[in-house]
Structure 1
Amino acid sequence: PDTWFPEYCPPKQGALIVPEVCTSDGCLHLEKHPHPPFSASYSKADEKEESGKETSLSEVYLQACTLVGVVPVSYFIRNLDSATVTLSHHGLGPLGCKALAIALVSAMNINTLELADNHIQAEGAKYLMEMLRANFTIQHLVRWNEKPPLEGTKHHDYFVSLHNCYFIPSGNGFTDDDAKYFADALSINSSIKELDLSYNKFCGKGGEHMGQMLANNEGIEVLDLSWNHMRMKGAVAFCAGLKVNMMLKHLDLSWNGFGNEGALALGEALKFNKNLVHLNLNNNRLTNEGVGMLCRGLELNDTLRVLRLAYNSLTVEGAFALVNVVKNTPKTALEEIDICNVLVNETFVHLLEVTCQEHPSLEVQYGGVGGFIAKKLPKRVDPMKVIQDYLDQRKLRLWDFFRNIDKDGTMRVPVADFRKAVQVFKSADILSCVESEALQGALD
């Protein structure tokens, strides 16, 4: 047969009909019964023969482990009745995953399967793919630090086999080349609802591929791309896909490098995207200028509810821009703004109070009161230049200044005498104490 799984047929509650097993070619195949139930050729004798083969799910798993040649996972056997089965860090490997997949074909009570850090490799992932084609109850598949079989001609089938699934392949070190496989496969898959691609290495091309995927995908509602390297052209290309996407609701882009260029593209995307409700832009090198560009999109957006901008290079100026866009946009849906590291001032607090009267659901997380609007500090003047200007105004030479101090004509000026002369400038408020000390230190 083409696959080692039987045609799916719901078993009786608490039992599983074990198909015949064939291992002649080195692979585990489950052969179909010659006369399927409810067919014209299915007789009482067949039913009696089948009833004799009924066995529990745990026994099926133990038999599969024996045939494959792996040690059974006792934790799995003890938790067969649970809706969530967590088998992370159990060292299953490809063959252990194969035995597990055989048992899960007809497991009707399990809806969440966690297989993080099991080194199942592409071979084990293929077994999971076959299992998911038959099992329609597993909706959450967590495979952190495990790569799906992206290479080869059947990588599309892997994603097509996931139905109403939350697929979490984060932390795999995926590169821009891998992103293309995701884009191609997910462009035709509308069943995966949540995709976690955080802690990977998507850069410029990766951003382009993810943008292409968003433009074509009609199923993903939650996308996590945090801790990647998308910036500049990659960020702009990603936003182009977000602009036309009609399904995504929750987007996490934290710990990338969108910067002001990406903020401008995001602002344009938010003008047209009417589905996104949660946007995380923490740690993205945004400045006040970038927030201003983002606000242009927020002015025309009436769906976004949560905006996270913590740990960017923002000051109270950026905070003012964000609150003002809420205050001046009657149709805004913003309810939460996170700028938890930004110090604000009393003027901002007053503006926020006024805005909350018009938008009572608004909550802004800021770092505390005590901030200021950034201003350029006045350039510190060279104290020697101050003295020179003072003498020029009185048509005196610097030579005259030092000759008056050198009473003995030794061409040397003792420090004590110089300090006394400088006191004149201090008393006349020409030099500050700091400038006076700096001048003496420089001449010493």
Structure 2
Amino acid sequence: MSTFNFLKMASQLDEEQGVSFQDKALTWDTAEQVQDVVDALKNQKVVHYLQLDGNTLGVEAAMAIGEGLKLHPEFRKALWKNLFTRRLKSEIPLALNHLGSGLIEAKAHLTVLDLSDNALGPNGMKGLETFLRSPVCYSLQELHLHNCGLGPEGGSMLSSALLDLHANAKKAGTPLQLRVFVAGRNRLENVGAAALAKAFKVLQTLEEIVLMQNSIYHDGVSVLAESFKANTHLRVINMNDNTFAVKGAAKMAEVFEHTPLLREINFGDCLMKTDGAYHFAEALEGNNGNLEVVDLSFNDINSDGGLVIITAMQSKPKLTYLNLDGNCFGHEGCAQIIELMAKNGNPSALQTFEEDNSEEEEDQNDDEDEEDDDEDDDDDGEEDEYDEHEHANDTTEEADEDDVAEETAYVTTNAFTTKFLNDSVTFKDNSTFAITEKPVSCSPEQFCLSQTPCTLQQFNAVEEENKLQAFKNIINQFTEDNHLLLLVFTALKCSHLSKTSKPALDLAVSLYKSTFEYALQTKQENRVLNYILLQLGLLRSEESFKSEYDLKSCRYALREAIIKPDFANDNIKNTLKVFLEQMDA
């Protein structure tokens, strides 16, 4: 549960009336042993909640409590986490059935059900199926099933129950308004995740989703991401310690555009790699201005990916917590990230770097099993944060990793083919970029549309007095991403010659300026920054990328561009300076 919702629930409990036997460490097997709880339920006129966590409940005792619950139609919150320690699998569904039956007969209207840290499994879900489909749960707002050992089968059963609950509530004229769904540490895997995604897509009311540490890989992540898009009021997403890889990160990044109210995202220990960080940075650039908490720790992100994330955070004025620890930044990379963050409006949000995995990363091959990566992360990261009491009744094991094929983002060996820019293109005419042979004489159109670097002879062969305007006339015939691509690569063609031709340098500076003006105008600042940095060899990727351009000349022209007083803005200038200085170091 997020800090916000935890405090909110605590505040509500202070205002409400209820019965609490929390953390008494009592063993309740018989009706006699649980008589104190039953008496409290009978003697107290108003009972909004019953808090039993930290004890252990048997079948007969549960039946007695169920009888007591029948007296309270005003009942709202079943706070029953860590309640079945040392119980047999056969006992748990029977006990749950007795508790649920009592609330059904009372015709209560439940808002919170918390059964976290109970070894339910699929067998335990059988004791909840009838209850979760009943009118008692039509008013359910929060469902907490953290660390319940549901597995793929239990996750599927839960999804089916939620879908039926939604349909039943709608039919009764009281639409379900489930806001909080917590089911971390359940080994749901792809099957369970896909099943729950079906329910999420139908619910469309969720504000907080916690699915941390569930052995979900990119296939399951992708399906979940689609369901998250349907829940446009999402404020908290916690997917910590699953295995996204780049494919999963790309899909999850698409969620941000559809969830403008996001305040807290936790994707730590998800093995999203550097290219996954690029996807996140691009998606967060113009979205989610309300973000307060961002955790991308332990993700095998290199320093370039860290810098790109920092740049994306510059548009997040409410940011109070940014965790990038445990990535592969190295000492110098950490220093650069801290320096760039210092230019943000909220530099204190960046958390201290206590661990760096750069050395580890250098010793690994690119195609190494993700199993080893994840085991290292488990040793160093999430597991250390759990306290002994919270996981005394731990029902899950650590995730086993399979080989996951990764897809690298933003890499291109063809000047006009890139996954970084959108696949969909719009032309004003039927022109294409398919000029493959260098022309003897070079028109402005041939210069702009050629996919290969030009020679100085070709550059000089463009006879127009105002070459900049001639190039722009060609570029302006195209729209959207094609317009942007032509700006970028015409700038590269000119900067390719910048050390041997003053006119080419001047044109390159002007075209770089025009490129970033267009980026700002279309609100694609970080997207274009990242793409140009990659093209200039300043931004590293998981896959090797070899440019056909003279990168030293291209970077020289960029340095000349960013010292101009009217170039772009301080955010773009500072980011480019950091990467250029990194290359010079």
TM-score between both structures, scaled by the size of structure 1: 0.59
Consecutive unaligned residues of structure 1, counting only runs of 5 or more, are: 1-56, 58-67, 378-444
* Residues 143-169 of structure 1: CA deviation (Å, up to 9, x unaligned): 531535348984751586263443222
- In the alignment, structure 1 residue 121 sits paired with structure 2 residue 108: no
- In the alignment, structure 1 residue 355 sits paired with structure 2 residue 361: no
Give the alignment partner of residue 101 of structure 1, picking from 62, 66, 76: 66
- The equivalent of 1:317 in structure 2 is 304
- Relative distance call for 1:131 and 1:191 in structure 2 (3 A) is farther
Partner Cα distance (2:226, 2:213) in 1: 20
What is the aligned-residue RMSD (CA, Å)?
3.7
Partner Cα distance (2:199, 2:355) in 1: 43
1:89-238 matches, within 5 Å, as 90-107=55-72, 111=77, 113-118=79-84, 119=87, 120-133=91-104, 134-136=107-109, 139-147=112-120, 148-150=124-126, 154=130, 157=133, 161=137, 163-187=139-163, 188-189=165-166, 190-238=176-224
Residue 346 (structure 1) shift: 3.4
- Relative distance call for 1:124 and 1:140 in structure 2 (3 A) is same
Residue 298 (structure 1) shift: 0.6
* Residues 390-411 of structure 1: CA deviation (Å, up to 9, x unaligned): xxxxxxxxxxxxxxxxxxxxxx
Residue 237 (structure 1) shift: 0.9
- In the alignment, structure 1 residue 71 sits paired with structure 2 residue 32: yes
- The equivalent of 1:243 in structure 2 is 229
- Determine which structure has the larger strand proportion and give its number: 1
Give the alignment partner of residue 305 of structure 1, picking from 289, 292, 315: 292
Q: What code does the residue aligned with 1:183 have?
A: S
- Relative distance call for 1:75 and 1:83 in structure 2 (3 A) is farther
Structure 1 contact 159–186 (Cα < 8 Å) conserved: no
Partner Cα distance (1:347, 1:130) in 2: 60
Partner Cα distance (1:106, 1:152) in 2: 21
Partner Cα distance (2:213, 2:272) in 1: 16
Q: What code does the residue aligned with 1:132 have?
A: L
SS at 2:344 equivalent: helix
Residue 121 (structure 1) shift: 2.1
- Relative distance call for 1:228 and 1:314 in structure 2 (3 A) is same
- Relative distance call for 1:374 and 1:124 in structure 2 (3 A) is closer
* Residues 104-128 of structure 1: CA deviation (Å, up to 9, x unaligned): 2334588453252324522222233
Partner Cα distance (1:321, 1:228) in 2: 28
Partner Cα distance (1:96, 1:326) in 2: 53
Q: Identify which of structures 1 and 2 has the higher relative contact order when contacts are C-alpha pairs closer than 8 Å and 6+ apart.
A: 2
Structure 2 contact 210–239 (Cα < 8 Å) conserved: yes
1:330-345 matches, within 5 Å, as 334-342=319-327, 344-345=333-334
Structure 2 contact 150–188 (Cα < 8 Å) conserved: yes
Task: Answer with 126-135 or 258-267: which moved more.
Answer: 126-135
Residue 93 (structure 1) shift: 2.1
Partner Cα distance (1:155, 1:79) in 2: 24
Structure 1 contact 116–144 (Cα < 8 Å) conserved: yes
Structure 1 contact 246–274 (Cα < 8 Å) conserved: yes
- Relative distance call for 1:168 and 1:354 in structure 2 (3 A) is same
SS at 1:307 equivalent: strand
Residue correspondences, number: 306
Task: Answer with 240-249 or 105-114: which moved more.
Answer: 105-114
Partner Cα distance (2:93, 2:321) in 1: 41
Partner Cα distance (1:138, 1:370) in 2: 43
Partner Cα distance (1:338, 1:370) in 2: 13
- The equivalent of 2:239 in structure 1 is 253
Partner Cα distance (1:130, 1:78) in 2: 19
Partner Cα distance (1:305, 1:274) in 2: 13
Residue 73 (structure 1) shift: 1.8
Residue 253 (structure 1) shift: 0.8
Partner Cα distance (1:284, 1:371) in 2: 15
Structure 1 contact 315–373 (Cα < 8 Å) conserved: no
Structure 1 contact 117–146 (Cα < 8 Å) conserved: no
Residue 319 (structure 1) shift: 1.9
Q: What code does the residue aligned with 2:321 have?
A: E
Q: What code does the residue aligned with 2:160 have?
A: D
Partner Cα distance (2:286, 2:268) in 1: 22
* Residues 266-286 of structure 1: CA deviation (Å, up to 9, x unaligned): 111112222332111111112
Residue 182 (structure 1) shift: 2.3
- The equivalent of 2:500 in structure 1 is none
TM-score between both structures, scaled by the size of structure 2: 0.46
Structure 2 contact 103–136 (Cα < 8 Å) conserved: no
